[in-house]
């Protein structure tokens, strides 16, 4: 599914799904949209039907989804070209071991890794998740992923 497909119907649940699929917290969106976290919570709350995400907030998420989709496509293409039948290692970061800004980057990276895994499953290409310290030695990863 293309990131832009999600813009057809702007619902509260759709906003939350898109935000979470990108690995973002409500605070990340609040910062980008220049609003309080409570405002983003209201946008996602079914109890507050009048509180709706702004066009700017939707555009922010949809643009990120398009970027993520392109990056996932490039990664999958490279992995397909290199597949040798052995499970391909996919990096997964342990957020709790990282500083706050690094944890945000890890959430975003993990969201992308999950989408890559979904595509590899669809293509019947074997893969395995590895924590960063387990994956750092694998040269296949260092060539494709920025580790």
The CATH number linked to 50 is 1.10.3100.10
Number of domains in the chain: 1
Please report the beta strands in 7-144, taking only residues with DSSP state E, as ranges in sequence order.
88-92, 127-131
Q: What is the pLDDT of residues 62-113, one digit of tens each?
A: 999 999 999 999 999 999 998 888 999 999 988 877 777 788 889 999 999 9
Would you say residue 44 lies in a domain?
Answer: yes
Residue among 145, 147, 124 nearest 78 (CA): 145
Would you say residue 146 lies in a domain?
Answer: no
Cβ–Cβ < 8 Å for 65, 108: no
- Report DSSP state, residue 87: P
Would you say residue 124 lies in a domain?
Answer: yes
Q: What is the pLDDT of residues 85-96, one digit of tens each?
A: 899 999 998 887
Would you say residue 53 lies in a domain?
Answer: yes
Kindly give the interhelix angle for 100-122 and 55-82, rounded to the nearest 10 degrees.
Answer: 60
Would you say residue 87 lies in a domain?
Answer: yes
Would you say residue 66 lies in a domain?
Answer: yes
Tokens of 83: 């597949």
Would you say residue 4 lies in a domain?
Answer: no
Tell me the whole-structure pTM to 2 decimals.
0.82
Q: Tell me which residue range forms the domain holding 55.
A: 10-132
Tokens of 119: 């595509």
Assess whether pLDDT exceeds 50 at residue 4: no
């Amino acid at each position: 599914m293309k990131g832009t497909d999600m813009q057809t119907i702007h619902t509260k649940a759709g906003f939350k799904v898109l935000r979470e699929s990108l690995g973002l917290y409500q605070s990340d969106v609040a910062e980008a949209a220049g609003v309080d976290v409570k405002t983003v919570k209201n946008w996602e709350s079914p109890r507050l039907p009048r509180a709706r995400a702004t066009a700017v907030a939707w555009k922010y998420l949809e643009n990120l989804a398009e970027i993520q989709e392109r990056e996932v496509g490039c990664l999958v293409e490279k992995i397909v070209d290199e597949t040798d039948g052995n499970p391909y290692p996919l990096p997964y970061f342990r957020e709790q071991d990282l500083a706050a800004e690094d944890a945000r980057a890890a959430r975003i990276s993990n969201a992308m890794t999950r989408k890559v895994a979904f595509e590899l499953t669809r293509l019947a290409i074997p893969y395995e998740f590895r924590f960063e310290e387990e994956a750092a030695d694998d040269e296949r990863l260092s060539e494709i992923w920025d580790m």
